[in-house]
Amino acid sequence: MKLTRRQALAAMAAPAIVNRARAAGMQLEIAPGPFKGTRESLKEWQVPEWYRDAKFGIWAHWGPQSAAEAGDWYARNMYIQGNRQYEYHVKTYGHPTKFGFKEVIPTWKADKFDPDHLLQLYKKAGAKYFCSMAVHHDGFDLWKSAHQPRWNAVAIGPKRDIVGEFKKAAAKHGLRFAVSEHLAPSYHWFSTSHMSDKTGPLAGVPYDGADPAYADLYHELPPDYPYGKQVNDRQAPDPWKQHYFKRIKDLVDNYQPDLLYTDGDIFFEEYGLALVANLYNISAKRHGGRCEAVYTSKLPGDCETGTCVLDWERGVAAGIPQNPWQTDTCIGEWHYRRDITYKTPKRVIDMLVDIVSRNGNLMLNFPLPNSGELDGKELKILDEITRWMAINSEGIYSTRPWRTFGDGPVATAPPSGRGARFNEAGRRDFTAEEVRFTSKGGTLYAFIMGWPEKQAVIKPLATTSQLAPPKIKNVELLGFKDKVKWAQDENGLTVQMPEQKPCDHAIALKIAV
């Protein structure tokens, strides 16, 4: 955002050390700048153009829970008797009273981790930004953390600054850099580590999380805490809120990301608002007074006016939301799992085009195994995305929504089941009956979401349609060197297809209007 003269003068007059917000008796020190840690102040934030243009990011949701290669939420579920991951843990490592998550952490080796190679692949695949997970609910920091000195990736496990190495590689390859933090719910999420078996020879013997010597990892919980129960993770003791603030501020201060993904909303009100303001003020200082950083929240109310970008986890918004938004999803589970079936390349590309047509971005996780090296199936998916992007990316990058996002049986179906988080499970692969639109200046892109036999008919571009532009000047098929035959009449824009398709998935018509 560009600062008004009043904001610029206020920033210059601000104390050289900090702006301060008071919460529970603690001074929340943030970087000086145009933003304060209040909702009213943060409403002035605007989505930066780089983010609106980028459309596609790749994420490494990777950490010590990936060591077991047994799927998501391992650190929590290994302490729940009867859970699949509990059974795996007992069989593989031993009982969690003797071999807990603190013992799993050193088994995360990252022995084949090459961030430069990974970021090279991701850039080639068309990603414009890259996100490194910085801390998950397991409370383990992937940087040299000032406030988690024992349990971070420099001190134990890989003994490498994962966040720092990813940042360096992102800069080398010209990608915007993002970090994800999932820390706030940890206080409740990790309470299972304090429980015990309910049956069997070790029934009633507390798991290792109950040992006060490891409270810096598993938390110090009150005796009457409802262990393992679903509780409101937006509520926590003040000492935890203060600790959360210090940890995430340390992350942002040291790595100055272009995007901070928070797994949830703006947590703990004053604390979360101060973190957002700190992020934006640091960015404004780096960019001559213009904030180019993005914060994401999963709560619509946080992002109605300025403040942040709304993130739809594993979901697609309905229609065309007025404000830019983001889907975060994964080709499999969030943490690496050996025995899982990944999304097909077609499913990923269908989602990307659908999301972009609706004013959104896609941040796609490729889960890394213990070694830090993509497996063969992941490389195949990445290669297909790369080949598709090489032909069709001009219809993705720097585009904006058209008058409608699309047409077809899915697009025109009743909106039930659409426009909600976690709705991607109900999706089905698109066919040639489905079309999605993007626009850029005087160019309209129409993506046909399957290979049509002989011809494609774009009904919204009929001469009788209120949506159609006054005149179509030319039509090209991206990836096809010769001219295509086309005609526009009351039935739509009809384009004759060549004998050989230019790519394996959604094909793009470039329409000059």
| E strands present in 243-353 | 259-262, 294-297, 309-313, 325-330
Let me know if residue 21 belongs to a domain. no
Identify whether residues 387 and 426 lie together within a single domain.
no
Average pLDDT score over residue span 70-81: 97
SS3 443: strand
Identify whether residues 450 and 325 lie together within a single domain.
no
By C-alpha distance, which of 73, 103, 80 is closest to 193?
80
Identify whether residues 65 and 165 lie together within a single domain.
yes
Percent of the chain topping pLDDT 90: 86
pLDDT band at 304, cuts 50/70/90? very high
Helix (H) or strand (E) holding 206: none
Helix (H) or strand (E) holding 438: strand 435-440
Identify whether residues 268 and 371 lie together within a single domain.
yes
Q: Please provide the average confidence, as pLDDT, over all residues in the chain.
A: 93
Let me know if residue 165 belongs to a domain. yes
> Pairing relation of β-strands 455-458 and 129-135?
unpaired
What per-residue string of b and e applies to 184-211 under the rule 16 or more CB within 10 Å gives b?
bbbbbbbbbbbbbbeeeeeeeebbbbbe
Let me know if residue 26 belongs to a domain. no
Q: Is the pLDDT of residue 413 over 90?
A: no
Identify whether residues 304 and 281 lie together within a single domain.
yes
Q: Is the pLDDT of residue 319 over 50?
A: yes
Using left for φ > 0, alpha for ψ between -120 and 50, and beta otherwise, residue 157 falls in left
Token pair listed for 372: 């830090």
By C-alpha distance, which of 165, 158, 229, 172 is closest to 195?
229
User: What does the pLDDT read at residue 87?
Assistant: 98
Identify whether residues 43 and 81 lie together within a single domain.
yes
Let me know if residue 17 belongs to a domain. no
Neighbours of 425 (CB within 10 A): 8
96-111 confidence digits (pLDDT tens): 999 999 999 999 999 9
Identify whether residues 413 and 310 lie together within a single domain.
no
Angle at 162 between CA 161 and CA 168, to 5 degrees: 90
User: What does the pLDDT read at residue 414?
Assistant: 62
User: What does the pLDDT read at residue 230?
Assistant: 73
User: What does the pLDDT read at residue 234?
Assistant: 84
pLDDT band at 12, cuts 50/70/90? very low
333-372 confidence digits (pLDDT tens): 999 999 999 999 999 999 999 999 999 999 999 999 999 9
Q: Is the pLDDT of residue 428 over 90?
A: no
Let me know if residue 13 belongs to a domain. no
Identify whether residues 161 and 293 lie together within a single domain.
yes
Give yes or no for a contact between 247 and 148, defined as CB atoms under 8 angstroms apart.
Answer: yes
User: What does the pLDDT read at residue 415?
Assistant: 53
User: What does the pLDDT read at residue 358?
Assistant: 97
Give yes or no for a contact between 172 and 143, defined as CB atoms under 8 angstroms apart.
Answer: no
Q: What are phi and psi of 222, to 5 degrees?
A: -65, 155
**Listed residues 367, 392, 417: the one ending a domain:** 392
Residues in Cβ contact with 41 at an 8 Å cutoff, skipping those fewer than 6 apart? 35, 277
Identify whether residues 320 and 179 lie together within a single domain.
yes
Q: Which domain does 485 fall in, by range?
A: 406-512
Identify whether residues 384 and 412 lie together within a single domain.
no
**Listed residues 344, 364, 392: the one ending a domain:** 392
Identify whether residues 374 and 457 lie together within a single domain.
no
Let me know if residue 1 belongs to a domain. no
Identify whether residues 278 and 235 lie together within a single domain.
yes
Average pLDDT score over residue span 373-384: 98
Let me know if residue 314 belongs to a domain. yes
Average pLDDT score over residue span 292-309: 97
> Pairing relation of β-strands 406-407 and 435-440?
antiparallel
103: CATH: 3.20.20.80
203-233 confidence digits (pLDDT tens): 999 999 999 999 999 999 998 898 877 778 7
Let me know if residue 472 belongs to a domain. yes
Average pLDDT score over residue span 277-305: 97
Q: Is the pLDDT of residue 295 over 70?
A: yes
Percent of the chain topping pLDDT 70: 94
482: CATH: 2.60.40.1180
**Listed residues 392, 422, 457: the one ending a domain:** 392
Domain total for the chain? Answer: 2
Statement: the pTM of the whole predicted model exceeds 0.95: no
